Amino acid sequence: MRIGWIGLGNMGIPMVKNTVAAGVEVTVFNRTPKPNLDVGGATVVQKLEEAVIDQDALILMVSDGAAVKDILFAQKAVEQMRENTLVVNMSTIGVDETLDLAAGVHTRGLRFVDAPVLGSVKPATEGTLTVVAGGDEADFNELQPLFTAISKVAFHVGPVGKGAAMKLLVNAFLGMTVEALGECLSYAGNQSLATDLVMQVLENSAVWSPTLAGKRAMVEHERYEAQFALKHLKKDLGLAVRQGQAVSANMPAIETTFKSFERAESAGYGEMDMAAIVQFLSAGKQQS
């Protein structure tokens, strides 16, 4: 399998390395050149078209829907691909954006799969992400070499758009989890229950989870170097709220969590890890 890959961000780099290590031929392009970057032996090119032409699939792992649209249409990647190429968006974008992009891609005689991933840099490095893919089953099956390289499991969750819908569901849950922790620690702090004691008790309760375990050190040491930036989770919560409204879902807590993240970003927490919502809330800085 030969693939073109666009996007060498925090997620793209380890995913490319694992894909190459699995024996897939990868040609990568990043908007901003990154000289001397270790990409595990992938071929790095300086022009978008060089990564796009004559591939079996084009993978996009970039910031958001606007970036995907820009690459495919404004920068004309869709015009440079051979007919029937598989366009695979792994970036987290909206369901509506996904459907619009897929329609544009299909009119060019290309195929489209939305395949966002669950997990941040550590599972990306370890090749243990979870893929939630929407698209034709045959296309999903064709992408197995890629999915096997980067993930512990790949779900085919329905037609195009369902991958994005599933991913936003999980990130909405993630946002509510850290929001809940932040609110509970604010409640605890206001009545002299120490954070480490609260964490110990939670660890021995039914509400403990891999997310809480993974963020525990950050919370206890109040150091929030970004593994998954708060601004990115705010983006995803906003996309989930928009999609929820489109399908008349009943999700007041997700809407409230989104507003909390918006306020945290405005207060300067955007570049910190998403778990910094705990510090924002505990600091009593939330304004209504």
Interacting residues toward ligand NA7 by CB under 6 A: 7-12, 30-32, 61-64, 67, 70-71, 91-92, 232
Smallest gap from residue 188 Cβ to ligand NA7 (A): 31
d(CA 264, CA 223): 16
CB of 61 to ligand NA7, least distance (A): 5
Give the span between the Cα atoms of 122 and 10, in whole angstroms: 10
Q: Is the Cα dihedral 262, 120, 174, 193 positive or negative?
A: negative
Looking at the Cβ atoms of 189 and 238, the one nearer to ligand NA7 is: 238
Return the residue nearest ligand NA7 (CB atom).
9
Backbone CA torsion sign across 241, 101, 119, 148: positive
Task: Annotate 199-217 with b (16+ C-beta within 10 A) or e (fewer).
Answer: beebeeeeeeeeebeebbe
Q: How far is the CB of 183 from ligand NA7 (least distance, A)?
A: 24
CB of 191 to ligand NA7, least distance (A): 36
**CB of residue 93 to ligand NA7, shortest distance in Å:** 7
| Residue (169 or 188) nearer to ligand NA7, CB | 169
Q: If you count them, how many residues does the chain have?
A: 288
Which amino acid is located at 165 in the chain? Answer: A
State how beta strands 117-118 and 129-134 pair.
antiparallel
Nearer to ligand NA7, 92 or 243 (CB): 92
Shorter beta-carbon distance to ligand NA7: residue 152 or 231? 231
Nearer to ligand NA7, 10 or 43 (CB): 10
Q: For strand 86-89 and strand 151-158, is the pairing parallel, antiparallel, or unpaired?
A: unpaired
